Homo-oligomer: A and B are copies of this chain.
Amino acid sequence: VVTESSGSMFAYTTIGGYGELHYNNYEDQDAKIDFHRFVLFFGHEFSDSVRFFSEFELEHSIAGEGKSGEVELEQAYVEVDINEATSSKVGLFLIPVGIINETHEPPTFYGVERNGVEKNIIPATWWEAGLSFNYKPVGGVSLDGAVTSGLEVGDDFKIRNGRQKVAKATAENLAYTGRVKYTAITGLELAATVQYQTDITQGGNNFDTPIDTADATLLEAHAVYQVNDFTVRALYARWDINGDEAKALGRDEQTGWYVEPSYRISEKVGVFARYAEYDNNAGNSDSTTVESTNVGVNYFLHENVVLKADYEDLGGSKDSKGFNLGFGYQF
C-alpha cells in the first residue's frame, strides 16, 4: 500500500478536520476549559464511483488509563454510486437523523455546546455500522434507508448511554432507519426520520434478571428555513420503548424539541436565541423536563474559524445559569 499511495495520494487522498475549545462558567460548578473535540478527516477516491471517508476524533484532549478523554472512530465507510439516483454506504457511518448528527463542525451551528435535545434524545453524535442506501427519485427529494447495529441500553434505559460505538458491540438486535428529506424550495429543508429496533436491551445483556423485550421506535422531524439573513431551525424527537422495565422508570417515553431563530448581522457576526425542552422520563408524571433558554453570538474570524459566546438559563428539573465561550474551526 505504501508504494501505491506514494504514487497516487496527491490526486485522490484528502485530509480535513475540525476542532472546538470550550470554556463553561455556570453558577453551580467550577469554571472549566476543555478542548472538547479534535477531529481529523481522511478520505480517498478509489474511482469515480467508489470513495472512502473517515472521521477520527480525540475528545477532551487526552486519552489513556485514568484520563478523562477518549479516541473515537466516528465514521469509516465506503460509498458506492450505483446509478445516477442511487448510492450505498457500507461500514461505520452517522445515522441519518436530526440536524447536527451529520453536520456538526463548529462554524455550522450557533451556541458553544450542542443543543441538549439532539444530545440526550437522538442521541447525537450517533454512529453505527451496517449498510445504507440513498435514493433521489426527483430533484429536492432524498430517501435514506439503513440496516445497522443498534443501541444496547443499561438498566437505566438512558438512550445516550446505549451507544455501543461499534466497539465489540452486541449485534443480536439490529436497527432499521428510514429518512425522507425535502429540499426543493430554496432556503427550506424538511426532514423526518424513523428508526425501529427489535430490542434496545439486546436481550437484556446488561440486566441482572430476565426482562421484557424492549422494542423501541424513534421519531424525529425538523425544519430549517432561511430567508435572506434570517434562519430558523426547529426540531422534535421522541422515543417510545416497550416493556415493563422502561415503563416502571418512566423511560418508555423520552422526548424533546427546540426552536432556534438566528440572524446574520454581517459576514462576520451572527446572533441567535434558542428555546429547548427535553425529558428522558417523559413517561412518568413527575416534573422531569429540562428547559433551556440560550442567547448568543458567533463571530467569524474567517468563514471557517469562529469565536462563540452564549448565555444559558436552565429551568424545569434543572436550575442553573451561566455562560460559555468557544473557539472552533474546520478545514
Contacts and interface: CB of A to CB of B under 8 A. Distances in A.
Interface string A53-92: 1101010111111111111110010101000000000111
Contacts of A5: 14-16, 41, 43, 331
Nearest to A44: B331
Contact of A64 (B9, B71, B129): B71
B50 A301 contact: yes
A131 to B, nearest CB: 9
Interface stretch (A185-193, A221-229, A246-254, A302-310): A302-310
Contact of A33 (B17, B56, B72, B129): B129
Contact of A6 (B34, B43, B50): B43
Contact of A58 (B41, B43, B47, B56): B56
B73 A330 contact: no
Contact of A65 (B67, B129, B130, B327): B67
A302 B45 CA distance: 11
Residue among A38, A69, A202, A307 with most chain B CB within 10 A: A69
A68 B2 contact: no
A129 B35 contact: yes
Nearest to A3: B14
B327 A90 contact: yes
A40 B17 CA distance: 14
A232 interface: no
Interface residues of A, number: 83
Interface in A15-46: 15-19, 21, 23, 25, 30-35, 38, 40-46
Nearest to A39: B1
A78 B9 contact: no
A258 interface: no
Nearest to A25: B171
A171 B34 CA distance: 9
A16 B46 CA distance: 12
A40 B41 contact: no
B64 A65 contact: yes
A167 B70 contact: no
A209 to B, nearest CB: 18
Contacts of A70: 62-65, 67
Interface string A204-240: 0100000000000000000000000000000000000
A1 B305 contact: no
Contact of A42 (B15, B33, B35): B15
A50 B302 CA distance: 8
Given A14-B6, A92-B21, A65 B62 contact: no
A172 interface: yes
Contacts of A34: 166-169
Contacts of A45: 6
Contact of A166 (B33, B73, B165): B33
Nearest to A17: B42
Contacts of A90: 301, 307, 327
Given A52-B329, A65-B70, A90-B307, 5 more contacts: A15-B42, A32-B168, A62-B72, A63-B64, A63-B65
